[in-house]
């Protein structure tokens, strides 16, 4: 009969470390650059709308990204609220 080597169990930390250790430079560059390129426009949009720019991180989460787009499309932005308040205080020329 054939003898089999005993099954060694690796902890999840070792599996993650092994997976990360297998990444080369191109993969690391893609992992860092692609999300940055995708998030920068959303950071600017949220900031210009009057929301904290950090909210753009929600765009990385599935379903949350869709909810954030709907929120941006149909909510009244803080910057527009302030503009309307200023217009009401200032008489037209």
Q: What angle do CA 56, 21, 35 make, to 5 degrees?
A: 15
pLDDT at 65 over 60: yes
Which residues, in sequence order, are CB contacts of 54 under 8 Å at separation 6+?
43
What pLDDT is recorded for position 57?
Answer: 94
Is this structure's pTM higher than 0.75? Answer: no
- pLDDT on residue 26: 86
What does the domain layout of the chain look like in residue ranges?
Answer: 28-89
More confident position, 75 or 92: 75
Are 68 and 58 in contact, with CB atoms under 8 Å apart? yes
CA atoms within 13 A on the CB side of 81: 7
Residues 6+ apart with CB under 8 A from 48: 79
Contact status, residue 30 vs residue 23, Cβ threshold 8 Å: no
In this predicted model, what pLDDT tens digit does every residue of 5-56 receive, in sequence order?
555 555 666 555 566 667 788 888 888 898 889 899 999 999 999 999 999 9
pLDDT at 89 over 60: yes
């Amino acid at each position: 009969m054939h003898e089999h080597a005993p099954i060694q169990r690796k902890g999840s930390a070792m599996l993650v470390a092994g997976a990360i250790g297998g990444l080369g430079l191109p993969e690391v560059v893609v992992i860092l650059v692609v999300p940055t390129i995708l998030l920068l426009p959303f950071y600017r949009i949220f900031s210009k709308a009057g929301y904290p720019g950090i909210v753009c991180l929600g765009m990385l989460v599935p379903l949350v990204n869709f909810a954030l787009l709907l929120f941006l499309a149909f909510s009244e932005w803080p910057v527009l609220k302030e503009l309307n308040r200023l217009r009401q205080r200032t008489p037209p020329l």
